[in-house]
Amino acid sequence: MTGMGGMSAWWRGTALVAERGLVENVRSRTFRIVTGLLLILSVAAVVVPQLLSGGPTTYTLATVGTAPTTLMATIDAAGRASGFTVTYVSRPDDAGVRAAVVNGDATVGLSGDSLYTSRTAGGTFPVVVGQSVVALETSRKLLGAGLTPAQIVDVMSVRPPRQVTVAKVSSESRAGVGIAVGIVLFLALTFAGNAIATTVAMEKSTRISEVLLAVLRPSQVLVGTVGAVGTVTLIQLFVLAVPLAVAVRVTDNIQLPPVATADLALAIAWFVLGFVLYAFLFAAAAALVDKITEVGSAIMPVTIALTVSYLLAITVVSGNPESPGAVALSIFPFTAPLAMPVRWAAGDVPAYQLVIAMVLTAATSVLLVWLASSIYRRALVITGHRVKVKELIGAGSGG
Question: What confidence score (pLDDT) does residue 42 get?
Answer: 64
Question: What confidence score (pLDDT) does residue 3 get?
Answer: 56
Question: How wide is the angle at C-alpha 173 spanned by C-alphas 49 and 326, nearest 5°?
Answer: 120
Smallest Cα–Cα separation from 115: which of 102, 98, 103?
98
Per residue in 43-93, pLDDT tens? Answer: 666 666 555 555 567 888 889 888 888 888 888 887 777 778 888 999 999
Per residue in 275-319, pLDDT tens? Answer: 888 888 888 888 787 777 778 888 898 899 889 988 888 888 777
CB 101, CB 109: distance < 8 Å: yes
- The mean pLDDT of the chain is 75
Indicate the range of 39-53, 69-83, 186-200, 215-229 predicted with least confidence.
39-53
Question: What confidence score (pLDDT) does residue 360 get?
Answer: 95
Segment 334-363 shows an average pLDDT of 86
Q: Which long-range contacts (CB under 8 A, 24 or more apart) does 195-198 make?
A: 195/25, 195/229, 195/232, 195/233, 196/225, 196/226, 196/229, 196/279, 196/282, 196/283, 196/286, 197/282, 197/283, 197/285, 197/286, 197/295, 197/298, 197/299, 198/286, 198/292, 198/295
CA atoms within 13 A on the CB side of 200: 40
Question: What confidence score (pLDDT) does residue 332 get?
Answer: 93
Q: Which long-range contacts (CB under 8 A, 24 or more apart) does 259-265 make?
A: 259/173, 259/174, 259/177, 260/174, 263/174, 263/177, 263/178, 263/344, 263/345, 264/177
Question: What confidence score (pLDDT) does residue 392 get?
Answer: 58
pLDDT at position 356 over 90: yes
Question: What confidence score (pLDDT) does residue 362 get?
Answer: 93
Percent above pLDDT 90 for the chain: 5
Per residue in 143-164, pLDDT tens? Answer: 777 767 676 666 655 555 554 4
pLDDT at position 119 over 60: yes
Domains and CATH numbers, the chain: 16-48+171-398 (no CATH), 57-156 (3.40.190.10)
Per residue in 368-399, pLDDT tens? Answer: 888 888 877 777 666 666 666 665 555 444 43
